[in-house]
Amino acid sequence: MKTTLTERFGIEHPIFSAGMARVAQAELTAAVSNAGGMGCLGGVSFMPEALIAEIEKIDSLTDKPYAINLLLPVSLTTEDEEAWKPVRELWGRLSEDERGKMAGVEALLTKGAVADQVEIVLDTAPAAVSLTFAAPDWFMKECKKRGIATIALAGSLGKAKEYADAGVDFIVAQGTEAGGHTGYVTTMTLVPAVVDAVDVPVIAAGGIADGRGLASALSLGACGAWVGTRFIATPEAYGHDAFKQRVIDGRFQDTDITFSYSGKRMRAFSNEWTEQWASGGSDASFPAQYAVAGTRVETGYQDGDIAEGMMPVGLTLGLVHEMLPAGEVVRRMSAEAAQIIRGLHDRVL
Ligand SMILES: Cc1cc2nc3c(=O)[nH]c(=O)nc-3n(C[C@H](O)[C@H](O)[C@H](O)COP(=O)(O)O)c2cc1C
């Protein structure tokens, strides 16, 4: 397949694996890139030294292009003491044991760690950086200087326009079906609306798990697909087998919208933790809420405690029925989409 996406990066299939915090580490990133798609490292969950090691690992596993995801809202990049106060207070209340379990969110709760991530990523100069929540001007300039493509995730039309004005190279239009932080508009509606509104190539996300999803994305005007949940059920993804199995066995009604992970709107597995949160909660907001729920991330991913863990997941859990190597997911999705597109021509015209 040839689209703006494959042409820009010299890749075979117009498929990105999403930069999922914790889940998308070196193995998944490299496997997707080696299969001719484009892997994306979930960079936000690594403390600076671990991020360097993980990037070295990707480089030892592939010589193909890959991307790295970062979160750069002002609340994480500011040096302002006042802004960090609520985070510090919550962080200070954690026991040693609890801190040991904060691997996935530690960098977001440590003042200066995100700035270090930025420096490391700019020095690495991967083929692309994906951004969520914000595409700050200072960072865009540094990427342009180094020839790093910028990709930004938008869950609304307004956000997509903001990213277009900021000069990003690609916009991911992410529908509410998606796992992780998500908006209100469906993929089917948001993608064509963004395609019409901006003069930037659009990648579709949310609800895409197979060739039918990719073919639909291309029909809606996108130049490729950005896929998260489908890649959880792969041997290369990080996470306990119980978590992956839950994706395979899952039904649509097993996800919920919750603010219990980060303080922002997110689609995740509904379980005892999210229900307990819904009936009680706390008033912590982003990013301080990470210090409230942070230990629960590894409760899910490391310990496989499905009832008490905090695990983002999208509606495609209702479409994922088997564990497959990540490379196989990429190849099948692309081949099936090509077949559908050819078949539609014969069937409809
Ligand atoms: C487990 C998980 C973790 C995620 N973590 C991140 C993240 O750290 N940064 C980010 O930009 N998006 C994150 N996302 C959202 C994905 O980038 C992507 O938009 C979404 O998974 C696409 O929808 P899908 O799950 O239906 O394929 C995450 C999604 C999941 C399922």
At 300-315, the pLDDT tens digits run: 999 999 999 999 999 9
Crossing angle for the helix pair 26-34 and 326-348, nearest 10 degrees? 40
**Most confidently modeled range among 76-80, 86-90, 281-285:** 76-80
Percent of the chain beyond pLDDT 90? 79
From CA 180, how far away is CA 190, in angstroms rounded?
Answer: 17
What is 4-239+326-348's CATH number, 3.40.228.10, 1.10.3720.10, 3.20.20.70, 3.40.50.2300? 3.20.20.70
110 CA from centroid of ligand 1 (Å) = 22
User: 137 burial class (0-12, 13-18, 19+ CB within 10 angstroms)?
Assistant: exposed
- The mean pLDDT of 78-86, rounded to a whole number, is 85
pTM exceeding the 0.85 threshold for the entire prediction: yes
For residue 277, the model assigns a pLDDT of 86
As a whole number, mean pLDDT of residues 209-233 equals 98
Average pLDDT of the residues in 85-92 = 82
Beta carbons within 8 Å of 310's beta carbon, 6+ residues apart: 260, 261, 268, 273, 274, 293, 296, 297, 299, 300
- Among 181, 212, 258, 267, which is best to mutate for testing ligand 1, by the most ligand atoms less than 8 A from CB? 181
Average pLDDT, the chain: 94
The predicted pLDDT at position 35 comes to 98
Contact residues of ligand 1, CB 6 A cut-off: 18-21, 23, 42, 44, 69, 132, 153, 174, 177-180, 205-208, 226-229, 312-314, 316
CA of 132, closest atom in ligand 1: 11
Task: Name the pLDDT band for 247 (thresholds 50, 70, 90).
Answer: very high
For the record, the structure tokens of 136 come out as 């700050």
State yes or no: pLDDT of 176 exceeds 80. Answer: yes
pLDDT above 90: residue 193? yes
Residue 288 has pLDDT above 90, yes or no: no
220 vs 213: CA distance, rounded Å: 11
Write down the domain spans for the chain.
Answer: 4-239+326-348
Ligand 1 center to 16 CA (angstroms):
11
Res. 32 pLDDT band, cuts 50 70 90: very high
Confidence of residue 285 (pLDDT cuts 50, 70, 90): confident
Ligand 1: centre distance to CA 153 (Å):
10
Confidence class of residue 100 from pLDDT cuts 50, 70 and 90? confident
Q: What is the pLDDT of residue 254?
A: 96
Q: Whose CA is nearest to atom 6 of ligand 1?
A: 20
Residue whose CA is closest, atom 17 of ligand 1?
A: 18
The 8-class DSSP code of residue 130 comes to E
pLDDT tops 90 at residue 88: no
The torsion defined by the Cα of 114, 10, 236 and 216, in degrees rounded to 10, comes to: 100
Residue 244's pLDDT is what?
97
Q: Does 283 have pLDDT greater than 90?
A: no
